[in-house]
Amino acid sequence: MKLPKLKLERVLVVTGRDAVKISVLSIIIAFVVFSAFILFEGANPIDVYKCVFSYAFDPKTGLPTMIHRSTLLLFATLAFILPLKAGLWNVGMEGQLYLGTVGAFAVAYAYGDLPSTILIPLMLISAGIFGAVYGAFAGFLRGKFGVNEIVITLMLNNIAFWLLHALIMPPTGPWRGIAESQSRPLPVSAWAPTIWRLPFTVVLAPAISILLFFLFEKTRIGFQIKALGSSQPAAEHAGINPAKIAIFVMAVGGAIAGLSAYHMWAGDPSFRLIPRPDAYKGIGELTYWGIMVGLICLLNPLAAIPLSIFVGSLREGGTVIVRRYGLTYGLDRVFLGILFLSFIALQFFYRYKIVRKKKA
């Protein structure tokens, strides 16, 4: 049998539909490839996948946590997307989460007796400002002195970690609690009001998605951000000030990540305090998945919503299958790794497509 001859052709315009196709395809490929891993471990892939999603979407088991963590991921994704539209890599969502924590808890401890309706907005504002200052600092160094923002944000992540550490650790941490290595609990008035076991902040993140979409499509600053991200020299010639934009995107990105601190600690009934350093570090590391989600959704803040839920459900469900099927520890993370790789491989098809060669 003769195989049809294939050839590569450069694709000039990638339509939105193609982009969706490619993202979906990379997800399918990841499922297929991961099946091989599961088979190798001696389990049935179909059962495993069923288990993952039935756990993650079951209201009685994983659903509330899944939505909560997916929302955290969405905050992180949005905090990553905005600066990258202007060409800046914000990988400081972890540190921004910690600083947001400092901002929110400082308010809560100081004004714990205020009513919720005043205290909660104050905590959110303070968390946002702390995150924004972190981001703006990196944006300022990058914009004014050209210092690489990846290096700065990574370094600041460490500093933020130790700052939080110092605040909660005995014997001198001012926020230390009675239990070992945790902070004092939040006053009740600071707890996030819940709708069906979910904090109101799960609506806040998608609302920010919509705002960002609007920002990119309709506003002057959004236009400047896109121009700068596409070509710095051309943007400068058009009167766009790269330093100002850098500070703006990093500050707003930082504020978004900072807000997620309130969502995280005041929104999950099992916390309502700052947990042990290894536990909060574990949560902080979750924010790095925002980089992956942001890249796969091609910096589209609306596409980030379903994608965060998808990745969040894999993560929540993943922890269960490892236990239930006795899989090697960490195998659930492998899936996300494969997903990322297959996406990058498929990115290639944004520029090329395979076509059947016509008979001469």
Q: How far apart are CA 256 and CA 242, in angstroms?
A: 21
**Options 71, 77, 96, 224; binder of other proteins; rule CB under 8 A:** 224
Is 219 an interacting residue with respect to other proteins (CB under 8 A)?
yes
- Helix (H) or strand (E) segment spanning residue 285: helix 277-286
Is 4 an interacting residue with respect to other proteins (CB under 8 A)?
no
Q: Which stretch binds other proteins (CB under 8 A): 175-183, 223-231, 282-290, 323-331?
A: 223-231
Helices 304-324 & 201-218, crossing angle to 10 degrees?
Answer: 140
Is 236 an interacting residue with respect to other proteins (CB under 8 A)?
yes
- Helix (H) or strand (E) segment spanning residue 8: strand 6-10
Is 240 an interacting residue with respect to other proteins (CB under 8 A)?
yes
Is 36 an interacting residue with respect to other proteins (CB under 8 A)?
no
Tally of CB atoms within 10 A around 118: 11
**Nearest to other proteins of 12, 178 (CB atom):** 12
**Options 54, 148, 158, 231; binder of other proteins; rule CB under 8 A:** 231
Number of residues that bind other proteins (CB under 8 A): 24
Is 146 an interacting residue with respect to other proteins (CB under 8 A)?
no
The pair phi, psi for residue 320, each rounded to 5°, is -70, -45
- Transcribe 88-103 into DSSP letters: -----HHHHHHHHHHH
Is 259 an interacting residue with respect to other proteins (CB under 8 A)?
no
Is 239 an interacting residue with respect to other proteins (CB under 8 A)?
yes
Contact present, 79 and 254 (Cβ < 8 Å): yes
Is 7 an interacting residue with respect to other proteins (CB under 8 A)?
yes
**């002057």: which residue's tokens?**
220
Q: Which spans of this chain sit near other proteins (rule: CB under 8 A)?
A: 7, 9, 12-13, 218-221, 223-224, 226-227, 230-231, 233-241, 360
